[in-house]
Amino acid sequence: MRVISGTRKGHRLKSPKGRNIRPTEDRIKESLFNILGVISSEAIVLDGFGGTGSIGIEFLSRGAKFCYFVDNSTESINLIHENLTHTKFLDQSKVIKRDFFAALKFLKGEGIRFNYIYLDPPFRQDGYINKLLESIDREEILAKDGLIIIEHESELSTEDEIYRFIKVDSRKYGSKTISFYEEKK
């Protein structure tokens, strides 16, 4: 696992020893960022279910201003800290060890709005993605013209329209799919 492009291109990232964390494969990560294109230097990112921090670090390497990492696993929090230290992005990030829903309430209280929200929630949890989107809608943390990116198992069908969001794209990579949502215009 490595940083694919940007200021920290080629930096190797520490990955987990067990099977509790599923890092996004480099080929999927590369494809994702090809789809997103240029990342604004003003972009604020939320890497929900951060795991290793790989996606948020990639956003930072490609020029994002700041990234919030959320995970409730001590192992993941430690990996994220190690990878941020190694890539020298600690000053452009905040790592939050909380349940995702509690973290959203905290972030709303801080008045933060995100240009990108990346979610890689645990697989095989019926209705969980809908609950995540409902919470993002309720907490109103997505910036105008912001994008929600969800990595999920390919056999899971996601809604085309849900709450104030509309699916604008979906890409399948074998057993994983990435779905993109934005606010309805």
Q: What is the pLDDT of residue 18?
A: 60
> What is the pLDDT, as a whole number, of residue 98?
94
pLDDT of residue 154: 87
Average pLDDT on 85-110 reads 96
In the chain, the domains with their CATH numbers are 26-183 (3.40.50.150)
- Tell me the pLDDT band of 22, cut-offs 50, 70 and 90: low
Confidence category of residue 20, pLDDT binned at 50, 70, 90? low
How confident is residue 122, by pLDDT bands cut at 50, 70 and 90?
confident
DSSP structure string for the chain:
-B--SSTTTT-B----SSSS--PPPHHHHHHHHHHH-SPPTT-EEEEET-TTSHHHHHHHHTT-SEEEEEES-HHHHHHHHHHHHHHT-GGGEEEEES-HHHHHHHHHHTT--EEEEEE-PPSS-TTHHHHHHHHHHHHT-EEEEEEEEEEEETTS---SEETTEEEEEEEEETTEEEEEEEE--
Residues 6+ apart with CB under 8 A from 118: 45, 46, 47, 48, 55, 56, 59, 149, 151
Average pLDDT value for the chain: 92
Report the greatest alpha carbon distance in the chain: 43
% pLDDT > 70, the chain:
96
Predicted TM-score (pTM) of the model is: 0.93
Per-residue pLDDT tens for 129-153? 999 999 999 999 999 999 999 999 8
**Which pLDDT band, with edges at 50, 70 and 90, does 155 fall under?**
confident
* Average of per-residue pLDDT across 4-33: 81
Q: For residue 114, is pLDDT > 60?
A: yes
**Spatial contact of 68 and 96, defined as CB atoms under 8 Å apart:** yes
The radius of gyration of the chain's CA atoms, rounded to the nearest angstrom, is 15
